[in-house]
Copies of this chain bind each other. A is one copy, B any other.
Amino acid sequence: MRPSGRKLDEMRAVSIETGFTKHAEGSALIKMGDTHVLCTATIEDRVPPFIKGSGLGWVTAEYGMLPRATNTRMRREAASGKQGGRTVEIQRLIGRALRAGVDRSALGERQITVDCDVLQADGGTRCASITGGWIALRLAVNKLMKAGDVVSDPLVDPVAAVSCGIYAGQPVLDLDYPEDSEAGVDGNFIMTGSGKLIEVQMSAEGSTYTRDQMNQLMDLAEKGVGELATIQKSVTA
């Protein structure tokens, strides 16, 4: 029934290549099917003005898409002179999501910037960015801990995200682009590896949904995030 032939509760094949670039303190190329996102984590010894002197660290994220990551070429944001509304919305979400999984006191007064750049898009780029971004973050923090700069691990529980939606009347896990463009209701579910909720965004475009449907999607999301967390742990062990 799904265009890809997947079962309702089946995620796309996940592949993660850590250390994809050599300069970043942490990096990973995450592939969720045909959605490919390059995530890098950069450590800097400075924090935003509003927490200077607080002893707390900061984690922030930026998101971008290469112009031809999509089926039709999109205008390069650097050329059009500003980041579009969708970009801004997504990178704020990624930043909040990752921060929710960080003990900022254990991190100490430093900033980690996670850049998520979509090389190829086929739906679910923001969720892939969060899942892959956490891996880059984990690898960067590992470096800090190995060097003794951070003593107590600030990342206690992995953070991952998956989208679910109502496609052709059925709740399905991990929407790809053909499903996403048809689904009247879909949501992004960000959770920790141990099943705690960080952020739920579930919206209808031109329709509505019920609490029952919401709960069905939540069940699928829990399954998906559980699988992603297992993979995250295996590649960063």
Interface set, chain A 198-237, CB cutoff 8 A to B: 198-211, 214, 218
- A residues with a Cβ closer than 8 A to B are 20-24, 27, 34, 36, 38, 40, 42, 44, 62, 64, 66-71, 73, 76-79, 81-83, 85-89, 91-92, 96, 99-100, 104, 113, 115, 117, 119-121, 187, 192, 196-211, 214, 218
- Say how many copies of this protein the assembly contains: 6
B residues in contact with A208, CB < 8 Å: 100, 192, 196-198
B residues in contact with A91, CB < 8 Å: 85
Known: A76-B64, A85-B88, A117-B66. A206 touches B23 (CB 8 A): no
Q: In whole angstroms, what is the CA distance A86 to B93 when docked? A: 11
**Chain B residue, CB-CB nearest to A188:** B201
Q: In whole angstroms, what is the CA distance A83 to B79 when docked? A: 6
**Chain B residue, CB-CB nearest to A207:** B100
**Chain B residue, CB-CB nearest to A27:** B68
Q: In whole angstroms, what is the CA distance A187 to B197 when docked? A: 12
New A-B contacts (10) at CB < 8 Å, excluding given A22-B34, A100-B207: A20-B119, A40-B66, A44-B73, A64-B76, A64-B78, A100-B203, A192-B208, A196-B210, A198-B203, A200-B200
B201 and A201 contact, CB distance less than 8 A: yes
A87 and B78 contact, CB distance less than 8 A: yes
Q: In whole angstroms, what is the CA distance A68 to B61 when docked? A: 12
**Chain B residue, CB-CB nearest to A117:** B66
**Chain B residue, CB-CB nearest to A208:** B196
Quick one: which of A83, A88, A113 has the most chain B CB within 10 A?
A88
Q: In whole angstroms, what is the CA distance A115 to B85 when docked? A: 17
B residues in contact with A22, CB < 8 Å: 34, 120
Q: In whole angstroms, what is the CA distance A99 to B24 when docked? A: 33
